[in-house]
Structures are given as C-alpha cells and as structure tokens.
Amino acid sequence: MKRVVGTEKKPIKMWLEDIEASALTQARNLANLPFVFKHVALMPDAHCGYGMPIGGVLATHGVVIPNAVGVDIGCGMCAVKTSLKEIDPENLKMILGSEKQGKGIRSRIPVGFKHHERSQDKSFLPDPEPLAQVKNSVAARHLQAATKQIGTLGGGNHFVEIQQGDDGHIWLMVHSGSRNIGLKVAKHYNGLAVKLNHRWHSNVPAKWELAFLPLDSHEGWDYLTEMQYCVDFALANRKLMMQRIQDSICEVMGEVDFAPLINIAHNYAAQEVHFGENVIVHRKGATRARIGELGIIPGSQGSKSYIVTGKGSPESFNSCSHGAGRIMGRKQAQRTLDLETEKKRLDDLGVIHGLRAVRDLDEAASAYKDISTVMENQQDLVDITVELRPLAVMKG
C-alpha cells in the first residue's frame, strides 16, 4: 500500500502514488456512501471510470451498485500453458491467419462489432434456467442474439495474445467480456436504480452516478441473478475462443498439449466475508487474489503480462490490479501519439501486431501505465508466478 486518504467518512487505501484528480474525486464519493464498509481500495492501475474508478474495490452493506460493476459485466482473462517451447514468426503468422482466406484465428474469431454470421450451438451458452426466476429478464430476451456473439472478441482493449513464458513454454491469453448481453443488463439495471433512487429521495447525489439497489428488494436480487449469468456468459465466451485458438495452433503445429484453463473475471459483484462480516464486494477492473489463487495481470500491447499467485491481503479485500491501467483517454491517444513511433516499438520487440492506422493508437502501449511499476506497487498483493513476453497480438 502506498497511500491512505483519511479525509472522508471512510479511508481510501491506495496502491499507487499518483492518481488523476477525476479518479480520486470518484473514490472520495465512494468513501462517503452511507453503506460503504470499512474502506475503499484502489489498485495500482486505477483510473477514472463511470461513477467508480476502474481499478477500484468497494465493499457495501445491504446494497449493490450496477455502476460499480460496469457495462462489460464479467469481463476478464483466460490463459493456457501449452506444451510448445517455441513458435517461429512464419508459423505465428499462419496461426493468426487471415479472415479473407478463411484460415487461422482471424477467421474463427470475429473482432470489434462483428458477430458470427450463423448462430453457434446453444450448448455453448450457460444454462439459462436461473433467468426464469427474473420477471421480464433482460438477458433472456437477448439469448438468441447471444448465439451469434458467443466466441467473439469485441473491441476496445480486448485481445488474443500468444506469449513466451519465462517457464520455457508458449502461453495463450484471451481478454474479453459479456458482449452485448452484459451491456444491456448493465444499462437496464443502472437506469432502474437511478429511477428508484430518485423516487426514494436517496441521499446519494445523482451526479455521483452511483445509484444502488437494495438486496432486500426484488430489483437487487434480479440484478445479481442477471449479472451472474453475464459473468458465466463471459467465461463461456472466452472458453470458446480459447478452444478455437487451440484448433488453429494444432492445424499449424500438429499435436500440442494444453494445460487446464486459468480464468479470472474483473468486473462483477459478489457476496463475500471480510473482516468477519457478510458484504457485497464490487470489483470494477480489479482481480480477486485470495491466498494461493492463480490470477492473470496483462500488460499493454507489446509489454509483459503475468500469471500471479494471490497473497490474500485483507486490506485490498483479497484483490489486485486487472492490468496496467490507462494514462490517457482513447481520443487523446489518437490525437497525441505518433503512429510510426508506436509501430516501430512493437516491430523492434519482434511482436506481430495489427497496429496500422491512427485509429488504432487508442490501444498503443504509450496510452497505458508502465506495467513494471504497477507490479512493483502490488508486491504485497501478489507474487509473480510466470512472466510472459508477447509474440503475437490480435486486438479488438
């Protein structure tokens, strides 16, 4: 831990030295909520989000806050160690393939706003039975559309990466979320919370964008039910992509063995026990890091990523960072960064990438914090188990 801000109703415990003013203002709002438990925790990748900083951890009594989970419910990471020890650049290019030629990862996994042209088998979706408990379920209304979204990457900072581990093995990593179904659920319940908070004359200012749903209301439990379905969908989405990445690798490299999947979500709320009390822990861009729990902390495009083991820090509510964290907005990055400089950086590292135009600069490495500093700031939260160097990356 680097700093503690003690000027609000509850302390703000920070695992970073510097934080943008807007993110700190949001953290102060969290610390003054009437139902906040113990303190607010900010991970070393924290930066401004909607209502709550991304990289924030908030525990509450009796309520859940949709905006403290965010719109990409269940977004997270999957990683798999392979039996391969190396892949040369030509084989990497063949594995990535081409969407136009109908080969490789690019032909199997739609990116950005693209979906599958045909519905995927419904068996890939999580069991929808829990949604039957929710009257007029939002997720249930979008299940048919979800059959074309399962196994798709999405845009923004989502990626597929092939990496070289310092354990001598090639690793595969996927970062993606719940696609449109999570967005619909998040927007519906945040909108519902805003209306109800206004009706109740809530003492939480509307401008804080932290409208809540009580757990003793059907709205609160409906949100938790649908949120969990979206978390499960996001995992199913990553699993299907990982299987298709493995298929592409085997087509090029022959028989390859794959270790069990490591999965971790970083946008969700969960009922947990901390400091002896039952609370709802909101992790918005934060990874759970219980004692001995394996986690995944990716760097920015072209920088190292890490498989980590949690230390179970009570002060962080058993959490750590979910990545490097942005230092500039997407539009700012496109306006200020130099395309050729960013391309040369990746080329010099020998990374096969898709950085082609100014619009791609929103995900350039210079738009993010230095991952080595982020890792140094959370040595009390996790131990590094495997360090991963990027070989090829496919961005959303």
User: Over the stretch 59-110, which tens digit does the pLDDT of each residue have?
Assistant: 999 999 999 999 999 999 999 999 999 999 999 999 999 877 778 999 999 9
pLDDT, residue 301, reads 87
Q: What is the CATH number of the domain that holds 220?
A: 3.90.1860.10
Cβ density class 201-238: b for 16+ within 10 Å, e for less: ebebeeebbbbbbbbeeebbbbbbbbbbbbbbbbbbbb
- Domain assignment of residue 28, yes or no: yes
Question: Does residue 48 register a pLDDT over 90?
Answer: yes
Judge whether 356 lies within some domain: no
Quick one: which of 18, 82, 75, 22 has its CA closest to 52?
Answer: 22
Q: What does the angle CA 169 – CA 172 – CA 175 come to, to the nearest 5 degrees?
A: 145
Distance of CA 255 to the CA centre of its chain: 31
Tell whether the model's pLDDT for residue 197 goes beyond 80.
yes
**Domain membership flag for residue 12:** yes
Q: Which whole number is the average pLDDT over 350-379?
A: 94
347 within 8 A of 119, measured Cβ to Cβ: no
Q: Is residue 359 part of a domain?
A: no
List the catalytic residues.
322
**Residues 109-137 pLDDT 10s:** 999 999 999 999 999 999 999 999 999 99
pLDDT at 396: 80
pLDDT exceeds cutoff 80 at 5: yes
Is 339 inside any structural domain?
no
Domains contained in the chain, number: 1
pLDDT band at 39 (very low <50, low <70, confident <90, very high): very high
Assess if residue 242 is contained within a domain.
yes
> pLDDT band at 275, cuts 50/70/90?
very high
Note whether residue 347 is domain-resident: no
pLDDT bracket for residue 388 (50, 70, 90): very high
Q: What is the mean pLDDT of residues 204-225?
A: 97
Q: Is the pLDDT of residue 354 over 90?
A: no
pLDDT at site 302: 87
pLDDT at 175 (0 to 100): 98
pTM of the model: 0.96
Q: Indicate the pLDDT class of residue 237, thresholds 50, 70 and 90.
A: very high
How high is the pLDDT of residue 386?
Answer: 98
- Write the secondary structure of 67-88 as one string of H (helix), E (strand) and C (coil): HHCCCCCCCEEEEEEECCCCCC
| Contact between residue 206 and residue 200 where contact means Cβ atoms under 8 Å apart | no
In the chain, which residue ranges form alpha helices assigned H by DSSP? 21-31, 89-96, 104-108, 138-141, 143-149, 179-199, 218-253, 330-336, 339-348, 371-376
pLDDT at residue number 162: 98
Residue 43 lies in a domain: yes
The predicted structure's pLDDT at residue 99: 75
> What pLDDT, on the 0 to 100 scale, is given for residue 290?
98
Q: Which domain holds residue 8?
A: 3-327+368-395
pLDDT reported for residue 106: 94
Note whether 96 and 394 are within 8 A (CB). Answer: yes
Measured CA to CA in angstroms, residue 344 lies from 305, 347, 349 at distances of 20, 5, 8
Are residues 342 and 383 in contact, defined by beta-carbon separation less than 8 angstroms? no
Could you tell me the two tokens for 368? 């993010």
The HSE-up count of residue 356 (CA atoms within 13 Å, CB side) is 4
User: 69: Cβ–Cβ under 8 A, 6 or more apart, which residues?
Assistant: 186, 227, 267, 268, 269, 282, 284
The predicted structure's pLDDT at residue 101: 74
Residue 102 CA to residue 67 CA, distance in Å, equals 39
Can you give the C-alpha Rg of the chain in angstroms? 21
Half-sphere exposure in the Cβ direction for 349 (13 Å, CA): 21
Q: What is the mean pLDDT of residues 348-376?
A: 93
